[in-house]
Amino acid sequence: MQVSEPTRSSSGIRTKEVVVVPHTHWDREWYRTFQAFRMRLVDAVDRVIDLLEAATLPHFLLDGQTVMIEDYLAIRPEQRDRLAALVRSGQLAIGPWYILPDEFLVSGESLIRNLLFGRRLMQQFGGQSTIGYLPDMFGHVAQMPQVLRGFGMERALVWRGVDPDSELFWWRDPSGERIATTFLPTGYCNVFLWDSLPLETRVERFHEFLKVHRHDRILLLSGCDHLAPNHDLPQIIRDLQGQWTDGTIHLGRLVDAFEGSPETEVSGELRQGGRAYLLPDVLSARMYLKQANAACQTLWERYVEPLTALVGYQGGPYADGYWHEGWQKILLNQPHDSICGCSVDEVHREMLARFSESMELGEGLIERSLLALAPKSEAPGAIAFNPHPQSRSQWAEVVIDWPRDGAPESAHLVTESGETVPCRLVSTEDTEAFYAEIDLFPGWREVRRFRFSAYLASVPALGVRRLFARPGAPEALNEGVSVGPNSLSNEHLRLFIKDGALHLEDNDTGAHYPDVHSFEDGADAGDEYNYSPPADDRLVTSEIDHWSVDHHDETEAVLRVVYRLTLPERLNQDRTGRSNRTVQEIVTSRFRLRAGSRVVAVETEVDNRACDHRLRVRFGTGLIDPDVRAFSENQFWVAERPVTPPQTTLPVAPLAEYEPTTFPQQTWSAVAGPYGLMVANHGLPEAEVSRDAGGDWALKLTLLRCVGWLSRDDLRTRGGGAGPHVQTPDAQCLGTHTFSYALIPFRDGWTTAQPLAQGFVAPFRVLSVGGGQASRAGGLELPDWLGLGDDRLVLSALKCQEGGRGLTLRVYNPTERPIETDLTVALPHRAISLASMAEEPRRDLGQGRLDLVVGSGEIVTLVISP
């Protein structure tokens, strides 16, 4: 790294240098809809082009996100060549992102897809970026330095989430990799060079700006949210320079302000308050959006990408165009004001349509890919896909449509080699199935539908198992689950109701989890950004109303428990407490236990009739040891979380913000002591670990946080507003909601339970084949092709290589120690190469079998070249 010397005056005294970068920050949708903001965007970019071409401005920063180019050109396609020329010349800076995301509410792979999209567009326009631009994210994930370096970036720029001793610091990730980072102590919204102000006022505000900057080279971003550049900026700077003799001020680019060597270092996740609001409780605003986002990400990362990649690698069609379309719909929902749920209601209604389109396209690609791998046969059967990097055995629902003509009265399942599959015939139904393809005339076909609960043993890693239906009833299964009037159990676990509470026992370890599942509800006088309990809050806890065993057979049992909470209807009129008028909140939870399983799957349905409140499910652990530890799985890392939450005196001072007791998570959180409890989830990103009055450690998972305002400035937890004062009635989340999570007891550390959590979040995918689907079967063979020896390594991606014909395989090590294991690839290939996160091969590692060493916190991207 080159370190430039500070500017010196003719007398030899060091002087300051202020680099002014004209920019705009563009929330694609927020307090207005996308279309309303795009009308302003078109006008703004029109002005940018004119000012740059006229050399009125030498440079402009288009907010580090390339989607603005797409949005503009959709209205002004005739401007493409002018834009491209400005990007190629370096006058207009775009990228590296496609959209500016919230980092905690999206998966690690979504962050990478985002940068891949941004890179594609930058390449199309001849641009590049070496700066990780993170101006307004609500905190930063621990692995961001490694992700940015993986795309060739040398510097990062941040504002929220950190209050360092120095504006220039090293930011170190869990692997030890670090990136030189610049902090914006006054933020990105500096408008004193934009507003129409007297020169005296500008000089005064400029000196106020200088007081909080300690370095000799200072970055001044001139602009703010949804602002076009001002024509007179060069003259304003000349006028300021005429009044300031302690240094130089001039127009420039980001890179011009980024020279110098960091003086301090910070590590890991950046969720600190200080000079900027963190706005932490966007984690739980409009939870339905978080659930939809997680469903889309899981569908594409765990099923669509691996299946389409393997089909393409084996000679089937590549799905690059479909991949772009599906991921684009997801990414367009992930800007911070969108996925955070902190926009007007109309914005979030439009998001649901994009999520729906992504799901529909993904489901179609999964079906097409599985059919491509199905045998060319009319024999009724099914094909199952295992999305995990190790061979797995799992119960799965298998549905087979047998053409009615000639269908038997009963059926069972066999493998391709003729071995009997342990299964139970759940139901038989004579019905119709609709088939339509370009070579298949649309129509209804009469079928006999057999529904099985089947134990699929040793399905290959990232591979498939073909199944066939044969006439004749399945063989009887041994009883795997037993039930009582208030309990269900298998050989590992026992779930039961006693003394008005639900308890869980681990037969393997003897651990007892008392009151393992209940609900608590408190008021929320906050807004979409921040939770804020009123001064006179009343906490309501659930009572079990009644229960029953809803289902029981040889393979599984379901215990249905109905809880009742009598909740205040809303806040009182002055928002200082809860109303006296109450409503009945009925919560129904169904606990499913399968034979041989160490996982209790839970589906909870809430009929929300109350406003202005936060509903959480509490998982008692029975742990009273003071040395318990808490963990959560996050983007490419497992973070240890505090078990002694911070205490903030409320109300906070003006411009201050409380320190949250909750923390972000992706698919699971865990509490560990002599034994532990992991809770996996589908799209519930906010959790907390705390100690109850009786000394019992409990994990709490937020289900709903219901508020009615985009922003207010009367919160007890935040000393000012965070956006426009707009009412958002949809954010009260009235109506019926369904939540899915799982209880996973463990011993010997969270690494033993993590594979079970992954199996819950991404189970086998099964599709009926043969019969009416036979004409669509491709007959492609997929051998048992992958071996990854250590299941502590997490597979985060298997996809088509960006810009190539190979396979991209990415794993990471979430533990605090290096992992040495072996990787075996049995597909035909030329080489296995270590690659950048942009999927460019860097170094050939060999063929066939590799000895793989993955350091603590390291993310490894491999490309398998055909």
Q: How long, in residues, is the chain? A: 866
Half-sphere exposure of 403 (CA within 13 A, CB side): 11
Q: Which two tokens stand for residue 140?
A: 């930063």
CA torsion angle 282 284 288 292 (round to 10) = 70
**Cβ contacts of 494 within 8 Å, gap of 6 or more:** 487, 488, 504, 505, 507
Per DSSP, what are the bridge partners of residue 727?
709
Portions of the chain given CATH number 2.60.40.2210: 381-475+764-776
The DSSP letter of residue 513 is E
Q: How many CB atoms lie within 10 A of CB 814?
A: 21
**Structural contact between residues 99 and 65, judged by C-beta atoms closer than 8 angstroms:** yes
Using alpha carbons, select from 666, 732, 24, 773 the residue that is nearest to residue 434: 773
pLDDT along the chain (866 residues), means of 10: 37 74 97 98 98 97 97 98 97 97 98 98 94 96 98 96 92 97 94 93 95 91 96 96 95 90 92 93 98 98 98 91 97 98 98 98 97 95 97 96 95 96 96 87 93 97 97 92 94 96 96 97 98 97 96 94 98 97 97 97 98 98 92 98 87 96 97 97 97 91 98 97 97 98 96 97 97 89 95 97 95 98 97 97 95 97 97
Where does 553-708 show beta strands of DSSP type E?
556-568, 582-594, 600-608, 613-620, 629-634, 637-641, 663-664, 668-672, 676-681, 686-691, 697-706
Half-sphere exposure of 201 (CA within 13 A, CB side): 8
> Phi/psi at 341 (nearest 5 deg)?
75, 25
Portions of the chain given CATH number 1.20.1270.50: 279-368
Rounded Cα gap, residues 492 and 508, in angstroms = 6
**Cβ contacts of 491 within 8 Å, gap of 6 or more:** 480, 507, 596
Residue type, 431: T
**Structural contact between residues 526 and 715, judged by C-beta atoms closer than 8 angstroms:** yes
Residue type, 131: I
**Cβ contacts of 209 within 8 Å, gap of 6 or more:** 186, 190, 192, 220
User: Rounded to whole angstroms, what are the CA distances from 90 to 56, 84, 253, 679?
Assistant: 15, 10, 9, 49
Rounded Cα gap, residues 784 and 254, in angstroms = 50
Portions of the chain given CATH number 2.70.98.30: 486-761
What pLDDT score does 14 carry?
52
> Phi/psi at 272 (nearest 5 deg)?
-90, 140
Q: Among all chains, which residue has been given the structure tokens 């500070």?
A: 6
**Cβ contacts of 409 within 8 Å, gap of 6 or more:** 428
Portions of the chain given CATH number 2.60.40.2220: 785-866
Q: Which two tokens stand for residue 840?
A: 């460019």
Rounded Cα gap, residues 515 and 705, in angstroms = 23
Q: What is the CATH number of domain 16-276?
A: 3.20.110.10
**Structural contact between residues 815 and 856, judged by C-beta atoms closer than 8 angstroms:** yes
What pLDDT score does 263 carry?
82
Rounded Cα gap, residues 156 and 133, in angstroms = 6
Q: Among all chains, which residue has been given the structure tokens 């059919």?
A: 371
Q: Which two tokens stand for residue 546?
A: 């009644």
Homologous superfamily of the 279-368 domain (CATH): Glycoside hydrolase family 38, central domain (1.20.1270.50)
Three-state DSSP at 806 gives coil
What pLDDT score does 527 carry?
98
Q: Which CATH class is domain 785-866?
A: mainly beta
Q: Which CATH number fits domain 381-475+764-776: 3.10.180.10, 3.90.870.40, 2.60.40.2210, 3.40.50.80?
A: 2.60.40.2210
> Phi/psi at 547 (nearest 5 deg)?
-150, 165
**Structural contact between residues 510 and 746, judged by C-beta atoms closer than 8 angstroms:** no
Q: Regarding the domain delimited by 486-761, which CATH topology (the fold level of the hierarchy) does it fall under?
A: Beta-galactosidase; Chain A, domain 5 (2.70.98)
Per residue in 790-819, pLDDT (tens digit) is 999 999 999 999 998 999 999 999 999 999
Where does 232-304 show beta strands of DSSP type E?
247-251, 264-267
- 145 cis-preceded (ω within 30 degrees of 0): no
Q: Which two tokens stand for residue 848?
A: 């066939």
Helix (H) or strand (E) holding 450: strand 440-459
